[in-house]
C-alpha cells in the first residue's frame, strides 16, 4: 500500500488508529492501567502529537489512514518546545492524565530519550511511533510506512534508530536492516527495552 505524507486535518482519525494499535503495548499498559483509559487517553495524546510532528513533514500514513509512522528528522531530534506543545493542545494534559499516569509517562519518555542519546551520537532519523490498526494487520502496511524515510536515510547516508518494548518487533525491524544494539529493563519496571540501529545503505 502506498505511503503518503499525513494531512493535518486527519489527526483525529490517525490518532484513533494508533490508539487501537497500541492498546496492548507494554508501555501503554504500564502508564494506563485499564483498556478503556488506554484507548481514550492515548487517542487524545496521539491526536495532539500528530499536530506537532505533521507540519515538519515527518509523518507518513496510508490513504485510508489505517496507521502511521512518526519520525524525528536529523535536524530536529526528539525535543519539542513548549510553544509547539501548547499550539497542539497539550495544555489540558494535567487534567486528562492523573498524577500517577503523568509520572509513569514521564519515566518512560525520559528512559527512551536517554537511550537514544546514549547510543546515537551522530545525526539520525528516529522512529517515534509506528503503528497499524489491528484490523489491518498482515497487509504489509507497516513496511510501506517505513520505506519513504528509510530510502531518504540511505540517500542522505544517515543512520536510523528505534526503541521498541516488544521482543516480537525485533525480527520485524531486522528485516529492514536494523540491528539490536542493547536490551535492558526500563528502570523500576519489568518492561524490556530493545534499542536498534540501522546503518545507511553503503555505509556498512
Within-domain flag for 87 = yes
What is the 8-class DSSP label of residue 176? T
What pLDDT is attached to residue 204? 61
- For residue 74, give the H/E element and its range: none
Q: What is the CA radius of gyration of the chain?
A: 16
Q: Give, for all 204 residues of the chain, the pLDDT tens digit.
A: 789 999 999 999 999 999 999 999 999 999 999 999 999 999 999 999 999 999 999 999 999 999 999 999 998 767 777 888 888 999 999 999 999 999 999 999 999 999 999 999 999 999 999 999 999 999 999 999 999 999 999 999 999 999 999 999 999 999 999 999 999 999 999 999 999 999 998 776
Identify whether the C-beta of residue 189 lies closer than 8 Å to the C-beta of residue 152. no
Helices in 56-168 by DSSP H: which ranges? Answer: 82-88, 93-96, 99-119, 141-156
Q: Give the pLDDT score at 77.
A: 66
Burial of 175 (0-12, 13-18, 19+ CB in 10 A): exposed
Compute the distance between CA of residue 39 and CA of residue 46 in angstroms, rounded to an integer. Answer: 10
pLDDT at residue 201, as a whole number = 86
Q: Kindly state whether residue 193 falls inside one of the protein's structural domains.
A: no
The β-bridge partners of 193 are 184
Residue 177 falls inside a structural domain: no
Q: What is the CATH number of the domain that holds 153?
A: 3.40.630.30
Q: In this predicted structure, what is the pLDDT of residue 48? A: 95
Domain count, the chain: 1
At residue 108's C-alpha, the angle toward residues 175 and 159, to 5°, is 35
**Domain membership of residue 150 as a residue range:** 4-158
Amino acid at each position: 500500500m502506498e505511503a503518503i505524507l499525513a494531512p493535518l486535518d486527519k489527526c483525529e482519525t490517525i490518532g484513533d488508529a494508533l490508539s487501537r494499535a497500541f492498546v496492548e503495548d507494554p508501555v501503554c499498559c504500564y502508564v494506563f492501567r485499564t483498556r478503556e483509559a488506554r484507548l481514550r487517553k492515548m487517542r487524545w495524546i496521539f491526536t495532539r502529537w500528530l499536530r506537532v510532528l505533521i507540519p515538519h513533514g515527518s509523518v507518513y500514513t496510508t490513504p485510508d489512514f489505517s496507521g502511521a509512522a512518526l519520525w524525528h528528522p536529523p535536524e530536529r531530534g526528539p525535543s519539542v518546545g513548549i510553544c509547539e506543545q501548547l499550539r497542539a493542545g497539550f495544555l489540558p494534559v494535567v487534567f486528562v492524565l492523573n498524577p500517577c499516569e503523568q509520572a509513569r509517562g514521564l519515566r518512560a519518555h525520559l528512559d527512551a530519550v536517554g537511550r537514544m542519546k546514549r547510543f546515537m551520537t551522530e545525526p539520525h532519523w528516529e522512529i517515534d511511533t509506528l503503528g497499524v490498526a489491528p484490523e489491518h494487520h498482515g497487509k504489509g502496511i507497516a513496511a510501506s510506512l517505513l520505506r519513504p524515510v528509510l530510502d531518504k536515510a540511505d540517500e542522505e547516508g544517515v543512520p536510523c534508530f528505534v526503541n521498541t518494548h516488544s521482543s516480537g518487533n525485533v525480527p520485524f525491524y531486522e528485516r529492514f536492516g536494523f540491528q539490536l544494539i542493547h536490551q535492558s529493563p526500563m528502570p523500576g519496571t519489568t518492561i524490556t527495552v530493545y534499542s536498534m540501529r540501522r546503518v545507511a545503505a553503503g555505509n556498512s
